Amino acid sequence: MTQSAPSTSAGFYGYSFSLVGVLAFAVILFWAVVALFAPHFAPYPVGKIVDMDYFGPMSAKLWLGSDYLGRDMLSRIIYGARYTLGIALAGVLIASSCGVILGMAAAVIGGWFDAALSRFMDAMISIPSKLFGLVVVAAVGSSLPSLILTLAFIYTPGSYRFARALAVNVNTMDFITVARIRGENTLYLAVSEILPNIIRPVLADFGIRFVFIVLLLSGLSFLGLGVQPPLADWGALVHENIQGLSFGSAAVIAPSIAIASLTISVNLLIDNLPRKIRDRSA
């Protein structure tokens, strides 16, 4: 861990947050609000052709220009936020909860259950994620529910390994031995004794995994194998407007910047979390 000197910090519940962390949080909040209230923000209906020209330039009427059919790019990005954030959030929620539950179970039960599960998860981790995504999408298609489950499935092993490593450490503590001697069952040990002790680093891991999922989802959509038309997430917006790249159209650049602003903000927020929250030994 690098010992970074807090630049400007604001006190909050006894934690201090750096300025960069607060800015990053503001960007994430901005996109969350945009995704939630998309219909209120979008200046035009998402599928409506409003420009006679395709790949129109930025103007006062169309802030981000128009796409390859002449639809308003700003509205499409505002609606795209719903799919990118929604799918990634659903995916990471499933992946992290499965990973944490299995990881705690492996640590508490131990023995062959732990050995077999860990061997299997390690094998799954050794499949590069984008490749894994391609294989599963080929098999189950790319409807929204199957995309969410695919992304969750791909990132469960990583979350499992992280949670198991933490839980194994906690599992050797004296208070666990005491609880075992008291005769508590496995469920109680996992939920009441281990979970509260690993939850903070697990939440930081949740954020990092969210970034991975956003990147993989955008990558799949960019290949035309993720979110399918007429729906479009930010990756799919880049995919459909890629011809505009050769003349530097905003229709390609703007969705890319949207993705980057989200992923960089989440990374920065996690890097700037107070050490109390972020560290394993918390």
Partner 1 sequence: MNSEIANMIAKRLVIAVITLLIVSFAVFFATSMLPGDTATILLGQSATPEAVAGLRQAMHLDDPAILRFLRWGGGFITGDLGKSYANDMPITTLIGGRFVNTMELAGITALISIPFALTLGITSAVMRGSVYDRIVTVLTIGVISVPEFMVASTAVLLFAVYLKWLPAISFVNEVHSLSDLLRMYAMPVVTLTFVVSAQIIRMTRAAVIETLSTPYVEMALLKGASRSRIVLRHALPNALGPIVNALALSLSYLIGGVIIIETIFNYPGIAKLMVDAVATRDLPLIQTCAVIFCAGYLILITIADIIAIISNPRLR
When asked if residue 120 is in the footprint of partner 1 (CB under 8 A), the reply is: yes
When asked if residue 267 is in the footprint of partner 1 (CB under 8 A), the reply is: yes
Please, which residues have CB within 8 angstroms of residue 23's CB and are 6 or more apart in sequence?
265, 268
Rg, the chain, Cα only: 22
- Phi first, then psi, for residue 229 (nearest 5°) are -60, 150
Residue closest to 38 by CA, chosen among 30, 48, 28, 49: 30
> Which listed residue (40, 60, 111, 139) binds partner 1 by CB under 8 A?
139
When asked if residue 6 is in the footprint of partner 1 (CB under 8 A), the reply is: no
Provide the token pair at 197: 């002790």
> Which listed residue (50, 215, 231, 282) binds partner 1 by CB under 8 A?
215
Nearest to partner 1 of 44, 234 (CB atom): 234
- Phi first, then psi, for residue 277 (nearest 5°) are -80, -40
Strands 15-18 and 9-12: antiparallel
Nearest to partner 1 of 11, 248 (CB atom): 248
Residue closest to 132 by CA, chosen among 152, 118, 116: 152
- Within 10 Å of residue 282's Cβ, how many Cβ atoms? 14
Nearest to partner 1 of 169, 228 (CB atom): 228
DSSP for residue 189 = I
> Which listed residue (93, 97, 263, 275) binds partner 1 by CB under 8 A?
263
Least distance to partner 1, CB of residue 77, Å: 15
When asked if residue 20 is in the footprint of partner 1 (CB under 8 A), the reply is: no
d(CA 87, CA 100): 20
When asked if residue 238 is in the footprint of partner 1 (CB under 8 A), the reply is: yes
- Within 10 Å of residue 281's Cβ, how many Cβ atoms? 7
DSSP three-state, residue 50: coil
Least distance to partner 1, CB of residue 218, Å: 5
Nearest to partner 1 of 163, 259 (CB atom): 259
Least distance to partner 1, CB of residue 223, Å: 5
Nearest to partner 1 of 131, 173 (CB atom): 131
> Which listed residue (69, 242, 277, 282) binds partner 1 by CB under 8 A?
242
When asked if residue 128 is in the footprint of partner 1 (CB under 8 A), the reply is: yes
Q: Do 79 and 43 meet the contact criterion of CB atoms below 8 Å apart?
A: no
> Which listed residue (66, 75, 96, 129) binds partner 1 by CB under 8 A?
129
Contacts with partner 1 by CB under 8 A lie at 119-120, 122-124, 126-131, 134-140, 211, 215, 218-219, 222-225, 235, 238, 242, 245-248, 252-253, 256, 259-260, 263-264, 267
